[in-house]
Chains A and B, each alone.
Chain A
Amino acid sequence: MTQFLQALVDGSSLAAVYSLIALGFVIIYKSTQVLNFAQPALMLLGAYWVVYFATVVGWPFWMAVIMAAGLAAFTGVLVERLALRPMVGKPVFAVAIMTIGLNTVITVIALDLLGIDARSVGGPWGFKFVALDVFGGSLIVGHRQIAALVTTVVLVSALLAFFKYSRFGLAMRAAAFDQEVALTQGVSVTAVFAASWAIAAVLAMVGGVFVGATPPGIDRSASIIALKALPVVVVGGLDSISGALLGAFIVGIAEALTFTYQPQYASFLGQNFSQVVPYVVMFLVLLVRPYGLLGTKEVERV
């Protein structure tokens, strides 16, 4: 029973990281109809800046995060302006494949900056943990896991409130609904595009911080974790924010449960099977619901 609860706790902290990256993905997709495969690279680059300011320059952690958020937002806007703007109106696939190219370029830069060894992001949580006594066993909850969950909840609520109540949030929703109509109503669609890339890049950066908080730290394998945000998005539905959160939760828990129980009960599936569980979940969901759990069905005119 403790083992099960432990898996749930680990799964939810995993889900927090996934939901941050997946949310950025959905926001970009909703407002610009771009499938952004560059999210892993944005995560690596954002995490690098936190590493740089917090451990190399030696700033307090919160200052490093704020500075990194600014730089990440700037990168997002820059990428949108230089690479994505000329592609407006091109086929969706062409744009999606171009973001793969962008991913390659940005990853090379980020890895060159990060170096070969895994780097710690220098967060205030360290490796401290709380041990809770439940059902006769001890449940270990790391401070970084609590931090990840709390940060995610706060960030997501702030974002949802922003979309719901602020003027610009309304403009973003309008642009996501219909760009041309929004344009005629005086919404600056270009500003919406830039803002959604900035938000996505910042979310990816925060996700990167928590990936980097997990031992051994952030290195080239971190992009594999970020890639798992893609099945998360598909499970939830490409254009649904609540779907991304739901998907992250399902995938995170499934992965943690597999990690705990598969070596014992299904060892024939091989080592590290939990790493591919998100993709298995994605296949299963797509077989039943081709547009994800909460995605809207595409209606097309010929």
Chain B
Amino acid sequence: MRRRPGLVADYRSDSAILRNNVQRFWFVVLMVALILLALGATIPVVPGVLGFSLRGDLLLLAVTASFASVGAIGLNMVTGYAGQVSLGHAFFIGLGAFTAAVLGGEEVTRQVFDLSTGQQVEQTILIGYGLDMAIWLPASGIVAGVAGLIVAPIAFRLRGLYLAFVTLGLVFLGEHVFKEAKLLTGGLGVGRPAAIPSLFGFRFDQSGEVFGMYFSRQQKLLFLGLIVLVVAALVAKNIARSRIGRALAAIRDRDIAAELMGINLARYKMIAFGISSFYAGISGALLYLAIGRIEPGSFGLLLSIVYVAMILIGGAATIAGSIMGAVFITFLPRIVKWMAGLWLFGFISEAPTGGFVNLSQVEQLMFGGLIVGFLIFEPLGLYGIWIRVRNYWKAWPFSY
């Protein structure tokens, strides 16, 4: 066994998260690299020539990417593993975001002149309880998860394409509710501040010293993101390789056959939706910490499509793929901006209007084009490309 690391002889080692020492080694290297990056170190890509470090907007994007990854993993549970296409992810993300903001945000009041009594009256314009993060973070996951469980019976009744439509309707209804519940969300175009990330008095949104080292606000948030992401990914991976994960895969591959084999469809679809929306809720609660403001108009169909694109481009039914996809899609605007600076792409204008195409248009075009391209040429996504590259080098210089 020791001489043949590629040999898999039993189920336990086949389903292990890290299957051999090589993988374990590179996983540790990756984690160390991420921690160093978060600390502000420069990782030499080509020593002495090209380095990579997270500074300024890159750091902020990394924070967003880590939180978005959690949401992408959630969507992958229901769409990738269980095969139930959900276009309603934006609704659950929004639910998580606003639950967090209401529980963890501050109350906003305003002096209003009461006509009947002729006195100044204090009126609440935004409800907020200012609770601790230890309460609002799980609570936002649970609220979204419960909403997912309520939707699940419809999912059980409907199959395939009709489900995609129901979840689409859910997004539109949810957006309407978010826009109208002004006391909770601030209303369309106004929004409200995000929750205050204060865990037992420790503030993630303020720069300061921790263990004698100075951390900026973004760095603190990035560490929070990395911790949440690692926990979320491990839990998801373990669910995926357990009895539940196998049942979900069976439902995806052929639901009637799965039912004949004794898998309770209603139960497992509920589990899938519950887990997925829980992840979405957690992701939504944290996602807006970096920006600091939540606007109810942003939880539309587009956000759902962004998440579907994440798992498609990353790779359906893989945890690593979800993370790759989320990171890639989050950095896409930055990549496009970088491309516009190259002479080859001189036709991209950086001004909002005019020119041949502008940045946001290229971004949208690439976004749509990537979905189409990946589905036609590489349905397994970035994860599939990675597997192919890996297998090529495994047998190098022989082709197979």
A interface residues with partner B (beta carbon < 8 Å):
35, 83, 86-87, 90, 92-98, 100-105, 107-108, 112, 116, 227, 230-231, 234, 238, 269-273, 275-276, 279-280, 282-283, 286-287, 290-292, 298, 300, 302
Contact = CB atoms under 8 A, between A and B. Distances in A.
Contacts, number: 118
B305 A234 contact: no
A287 B165 CA distance: 13
A234 B367 contact: no
B235 interface: no
A39 to B, nearest CB: 13
B180 A271 contact: yes
Nearest to A98: B375
Most buried by A among B169, B308, B364: B169
Give the size category of B's interface with A.
Answer: 35 or more
A92 B161 contact: yes
A68 to B, nearest CB: 23
A170 to B, nearest CB: 27
Given A273-B176, A286-B162, A90 B257 contact: no
Most buried by A among B161, B368, B369: B368
B376 to A, nearest CB: 5
A276 B176 contact: yes
Contacts of A98: 371-372, 375-376
B260 interface: yes
Contact of A112 (B157, B160, B361): B361
Contacts of B63: none
B256 interface: yes
A231 B165 contact: yes
A58 to B, nearest CB: 25
B166 A100 contact: no
B376 A83 contact: yes
A96 B85 contact: yes
A50 B368 CA distance: 25
B316 to A, nearest CB: 9
B247 to A, nearest CB: 17
B135 interface: no
B372 A227 contact: no
A101 B375 contact: yes
A103 B368 contact: yes
B291 interface: no
Given A97-B312, A108-B361, A271-B180, A92 B160 contact: yes
Contacts of B305: 100, 104
B45 to A, nearest CB: 31
Given A86-B376, A105-B365, A286-B158, A93 B164 contact: yes
Interface string B246-257: 000000001011
A97 to B, nearest CB: 6
Contacts of A270: 176, 179-180
B290 interface: no
Given A90-B379, A105-B368, A227 B301 contact: yes
Nearest to B379: A94
B311 to A, nearest CB: 10
Q: Is the interface of A mostly helix, strand, loop or mixed?
A: helix
A96 B368 contact: no
A146 to B, nearest CB: 30
B375 A282 contact: no
Given A105-B372, A270-B176, A292-B162, 6 more contacts: A97-B312, A101-B369, A227-B301, A283-B154, A286-B158, A302-B257
7 contacts: A97-B375, A98-B371, A104-B364, A231-B165, A272-B176, A283-B169, A286-B154
A100 B306 CA distance: 10
A112 B354 CA distance: 10
Contacts of B173: 276, 279-280, 283
B161 A100 contact: no
Nearest to A38: B368
B169 A282 contact: yes
Contacts of A97: 85, 308, 312, 371, 375
Nearest to B179: A270
A101 B353 contact: no
B168 A230 contact: yes
B328 interface: no
Contact of B161 (A96, A102, A108, A271): A96
Nearest to B373: A101
In the complex, the 10 A-B pairs of residues with the closest C-beta atoms, listed nearest first: A101-B371, A104-B368, A270-B180, A279-B169, A105-B368, A101-B372, A101-B368, A108-B364, A98-B375, A276-B176
Contacts of A102: 368, 372
B375 A279 contact: no
Interface in B254-272: 254, 256-257, 260
Interface string B148-182: 00000010011111101110110011001001100
Given A35-B161, A302-B256, A275 B365 contact: no
Contacts of B301: 227
B278 to A, nearest CB: 23
B139 interface: no
A200 B254 CA distance: 31
B361 A234 contact: no
B228 interface: no
Interface string B351-370: 00100010001001101111
Contact of B162 (A104, A107, A238, A280): A238
A291 B312 CA distance: 27
B164 A276 contact: no
